[in-house]
Chains A and B, each alone.
Chain A
């Protein structure tokens, strides 16, 4: 299968690839303590030598900067990049599955489901005799956090999908109902909010503060462990999702049309929901609630390259990573030396776009 819009890696893709290292380096150099390109070049070789500690040979004057980069900015920038990529490709995949450009994980309740799951995990760890703040940064604590978020996110995704699309033997509903989808999303978000509040009410101040910090979204908790865990989940999720490009294209025709084209619709649905829940859950558990990335990025890309998933999926991952690293840079400098939660930036960017999309929904023929 080949057509003009479908052959090879296009211009947009090369631009995204080119900008990725630039943005990552920018993420390392911008902050309350500015680090210029020359200093950065001096420090870079030492970042990957001996797990961030061996600085022999580095100008002693640089050691402080090295610590800033190695301990704070590198994990943070990499986490932003991974989470942005995971959220954006998840958004693109969800929109294909729901046949609906509004299906962002944060709007339909998957993100809040995951955050409730994570909160429950926080409280459970705290209640289980473990001190959350010392133990959560260990592998065990982080894994429990991710698992809790995964269960919450998966449940939310399944409920939304179940309620907003007809069951498979009911073909009259070949489309998802936008209204139902958004309403179910609101319900789940409200439910998760209530659950979070209840948990916060029942636990001590420190846990409460932590829970509320997540809900704002923050990359400031980034650590080597978090980056490694995020990489272990999000990179495989991105690679797996990219394999569904053709099936997702066919799904856009309608569920029964996809089946007639040989797509095992039931299996695709399950696989996608599980993979997306994993990607979203790990980003919620490790970087907090960051909304709208999955809405903004695929939407802007569709305007540039069309709706074909063969390109949309990998480009979304690239552009999502770029966007979140950029948003994190902005979050670091606008209130410097204080920081803004990065979720605020993405919401400021995404919410207006969401409203514009809602106004246009008649153009999409959806009600």
Chain B
């Protein structure tokens, strides 16, 4: 198995690095500025949550980070190089993306969908199989392996797509990740029940500890506060705040971005901020 030697080696040193840098990124779509002058850096091996009301530009920002959209001004750097300079195959080896919705209408069986995440890599069938099976176990879809994707429930589809996207960045059954890789997730938990939400967020934390850089758009502020290392707050295309959880999740900040009154208390166990909407 080739994948073993891809293991992450100098973790402590790497965690200081910026994996993705947004350098004064602006984006126009149909003449409307959907992102304005956004600068932020995603540290290697961290989870950064992207919060903001509907239409704030979260998805657009993720599109810029995955090079699906070229920014109108500014640039996005991946590992120091302009992301637009990567060819699709070389980018696919570093960046995996889970879009908000997926439109797969053909009855591939679950295992084949997950296996598509291995397309960008050539580590051998044994390695691929071990990774795929392990991810299906972790996300509780191993029993569904031979079921057609089109017959799944929304949550099962979501977990299948998650397994596919994760298999693109994981290089061993022990969940080691490829060097310098980035995971972009757009609302990955919307269709998941509570146990699977927790399961996914814990899995993401584990992967971040292995060196994976994760950028995740979320609606659930409390989930972001519990699991993210840093939070970026977007409103109407502007970056309102980008800082640690305790700096960003404040009553004033939530009021400014979401325009609702909230109370914030400390989580009884983790002491992280817990947002309670006022009744």
A residues apposed to B, CB below 8 Å: 1-6, 99-101, 169, 171, 174-175, 246, 249-250, 252-254, 256-257, 259-265, 302, 306-308, 363-366
Asked whether any CB of chain A lies closer than 8 Å to the CB of B63, the reply is yes
Contacts A246-B119, A308-B108 given; does A99 touch B88 at CB 8 Å:
no
Complex Cα distance, B150 from A302, in Å, reads 14
10 more A-B residue pairs beyond the given contacts A4-B146, A171-B69, A254-B102, with a C-beta to C-beta distance below 8 A = A4-B109, A99-B106, A252-B106, A254-B103, A254-B104, A262-B120, A306-B108, A306-B109, A307-B107, A366-B105
Nearest-neighbour CB distance to chain A for B127, whole angstroms, equals 10
The 3 closest A-B pairs by CB, nearest first: A262-B92, A307-B106, A262-B89
Asked whether any CB of chain A lies closer than 8 Å to the CB of B117, the reply is yes
Contacts A4-B111, A254-B102, A307-B108 given; does A260 touch B87 at CB 8 Å:
no
Interface 9-residue window, one of B93-101, B206-214, B221-229: B93-101
Cβ A306 vs Cβ B116 within 8 A? no
Cβ B112 vs Cβ A308 within 8 A? yes
Complex Cα distance, B62 from A96, in Å, reads 27
Contacts A99-B105, A253-B116, A261-B117 given; does A3 touch B111 at CB 8 Å:
yes
Contacts A171-B63, A259-B68 given; does A2 touch B125 at CB 8 Å:
yes
The interface residues of chain A lying within 8 Å CB-to-CB of B103 are: 99, 174-175, 253-254, 365
Complex Cα distance, B93 from A363, in Å, reads 34
Cβ A1 vs Cβ B87 within 8 A? no
Q: Is the interface of A mostly helix, strand, loop or mixed?
A: loop
The interface residues of chain A lying within 8 Å CB-to-CB of B97 are: 256-257, 260
Cβ B99 vs Cβ A254 within 8 A? yes
The interface residues of chain A lying within 8 Å CB-to-CB of B120 are: 261-262
The interface residues of chain A lying within 8 Å CB-to-CB of B104 are: 252-254
| Those of B84-143 within 8 Å (CB) of chain A | 87-93, 95-97, 99, 101-109, 111-113, 115-120, 125, 128-129, 132
Find the B residue at minimum CB distance from A307: B106
Nearest-neighbour CB distance to chain A for B68, whole angstroms, equals 5
Asked whether any CB of chain A lies closer than 8 Å to the CB of B172, the reply is no
Q: Which of B119, B129, B146, B150 contacts A261 (CB 8 A)?
A: B119
Q: Which of B88, B117, B118, B125 contacts A259 (CB 8 A)?
A: B88
The interface residues of chain A lying within 8 Å CB-to-CB of B148 are: 306
The interface residues of chain B lying within 8 Å CB-to-CB of A101 are: 106
Complex Cα distance, B120 from A175, in Å, reads 23
Complex Cα distance, B36 from A46, in Å, reads 77
Contacts A4-B146, A174-B103, A254-B102 given; does A260 touch B66 at CB 8 Å:
yes
Nearest-neighbour CB distance to chain A for B71, whole angstroms, equals 12
Contacts A1-B115, A1-B125, A262-B119 given; does A252 touch B91 at CB 8 Å:
no
Q: Which of B101, B105, B119, B150 contacts A1 (CB 8 A)?
A: B119
Nearest-neighbour CB distance to chain B for A98, whole angstroms, equals 11
The interface residues of chain A lying within 8 Å CB-to-CB of B91 are: 262
Complex Cα distance, B93 from A327, in Å, reads 47
Complex Cα distance, B96 from A259, in Å, reads 10
B residues apposed to A, CB below 8 Å: 63, 66, 68-69, 87-93, 95-97, 99, 101-109, 111-113, 115-120, 125, 128-129, 132, 146, 148, 150, 168
Question: What are 6 of the A-B contact pairs (CB < 8 Å)?
Answer: A3-B115, A252-B108, A253-B103, A262-B119, A307-B108, A364-B105
Complex Cα distance, B91 from A262, in Å, reads 7
Contacts A1-B119, A259-B88, A262-B89 given; does A253 touch B102 at CB 8 Å:
yes
The interface residues of chain A lying within 8 Å CB-to-CB of B88 are: 259, 262-265
The interface residues of chain B lying within 8 Å CB-to-CB of A175 are: 103, 105
Complex Cα distance, B128 from A91, in Å, reads 31
Nearest-neighbour CB distance to chain B for A130, whole angstroms, equals 47
Find the B residue at minimum CB distance from A361: B105
The interface residues of chain A lying within 8 Å CB-to-CB of B63 are: 171
Cβ B87 vs Cβ A257 within 8 A? no
Cβ A3 vs Cβ B102 within 8 A? no
Nearest-neighbour CB distance to chain A for B216, whole angstroms, equals 16
Complex Cα distance, B164 from A3, in Å, reads 14
Q: Which of A4, A260, A306 contacts B107 (CB 8 A)?
A: A306
Nearest-neighbour CB distance to chain A for B99, whole angstroms, equals 6
Complex Cα distance, B250 from A249, in Å, reads 46
The interface residues of chain A lying within 8 Å CB-to-CB of B150 are: 363-365
The interface residues of chain B lying within 8 Å CB-to-CB of A366 are: 105
Contacts A1-B115, A171-B68, A246-B119 given; does A260 touch B109 at CB 8 Å:
no
Nearest-neighbour CB distance to chain B for A258, whole angstroms, equals 9
Complex Cα distance, B150 from A364, in Å, reads 8
Of A6, A100, A246, A253, which is in contact with the most chain B CB atoms at under 10 Å from its CB? Answer: A253
The interface residues of chain B lying within 8 Å CB-to-CB of A257 are: 97, 99, 102
The interface residues of chain A lying within 8 Å CB-to-CB of B146 are: 4
Complex Cα distance, B92 from A95, in Å, reads 24
Nearest-neighbour CB distance to chain A for B235, whole angstroms, equals 22
The interface residues of chain B lying within 8 Å CB-to-CB of A264 are: 87-89
Cβ A261 vs Cβ B92 within 8 A? yes
Complex Cα distance, B129 from A364, in Å, reads 29
Complex Cα distance, B92 from A3, in Å, reads 22
Find the B residue at minimum CB distance from A249: B116
Complex Cα distance, B100 from A172, in Å, reads 10
Nearest-neighbour CB distance to chain B for A84, whole angstroms, equals 23
Complex Cα distance, B66 from A77, in Å, reads 51
Find the A residue at minimum CB distance from B110: A3
The interface residues of chain B lying within 8 Å CB-to-CB of A1 are: 115, 118-119, 125, 128
